[in-house]
Amino acid sequence: MSGPDWFPAQPDGGPAAIGPQEWLRRRLFERRMAILTGPLDDERAGEVGASLMTLDASGDGAVDLQIDSTGGSTGAALALMDIVDLLGVPVRAWCTGQAAGPALGVLAVCAHRALSPHARVHLTEPRVEWEGSARLLEQLAAAHADQWTMFCRRVGEATGQDTDRIRRDADHGRFLTAAQAVGYGIADEVVAPDARIERFPGRPIGFRPR
């Protein structure tokens, strides 16, 4: 049985042949793109990091990273930031929704940082919850404090801001508009609404009127 008629079969192995998610992944890979959406936890950082490293190994051109992410952990953000720093090709970030908390650090360390006009940046320390003995909780709290200090320092280096200011603004949960984020040093430009639309070849995906 063939797939739904809104995923028409393609001669080169389209959505009906391989499934819509795999088809989209391949098209993004062809365009040297990766996507960071949802909470930036360890699993998501690993997936995005693997995509970036694979794209780095597959060519010499820049890689585009689309960001719309809130929540997650400081440790996951630092791991992904390290990958961005160590790649042999530049990463161009484009925030289309929010870069809140951990994702803000990933945006900040990219070689070029663009924001959509209505994108928002939120400086905030991620919430953490632990269970265990008093000694274990003390160790976890100390490790988190060290990671948060390193995160603020890395963001400060990438934006030209003082580390203490990054920490203070995060303590207050400061929101920045796209234009304010450029002035703060988190982004380089605000892009026009249609400046970075990626159009895939073939028939459009979606429900067709009958």
Superfamily of domain 15-190: 2-enoyl-CoA Hydratase; Chain A, domain 1 (3.90.226.10)
What are the structural domain ranges in the chain?
Answer: 15-190
Q: Is 64 exposed, middle or buried (0-12, 13-18, 19+ CB in 10 A)?
A: buried
Can you give the pLDDT at residue 17? 61
pLDDT confidence band for 18 (50 / 70 / 90): low
Residue 190: half-sphere exposure toward Cβ, Cα within 13 Å: 16
CA 76 to CA 68: how far, in whole Å? 16
Does 51 score more than 50 pLDDT?
Answer: yes
SS3 1: coil
- Mean pLDDT to the nearest integer, 101-118: 97
What's the chain's length in residues? 210
AA identity, residue 87: L
What's the whole-model pTM score?
0.79
Q: What is the CA radius of gyration of the chain?
A: 19
Note the Cα 110 to chain centre separation in Å: 10
Contacts of 177 (CB under 8 A, 6+ apart): 120
Does 130 score more than 70 pLDDT?
Answer: no
Cα separation of the two ends of the chain: 21
Contacts of 200 (CB under 8 A, 6+ apart): 27
CB neighbourhood size of 207 (10 A): 8
Place of tokens 């793109």: 33
Does 14 score more than 60 pLDDT?
Answer: no
Does 83 score more than 70 pLDDT?
Answer: yes
Can you give the pLDDT at residue 194? 58
Compute φ and ψ for 160, nearest 5 degrees.
85, 10
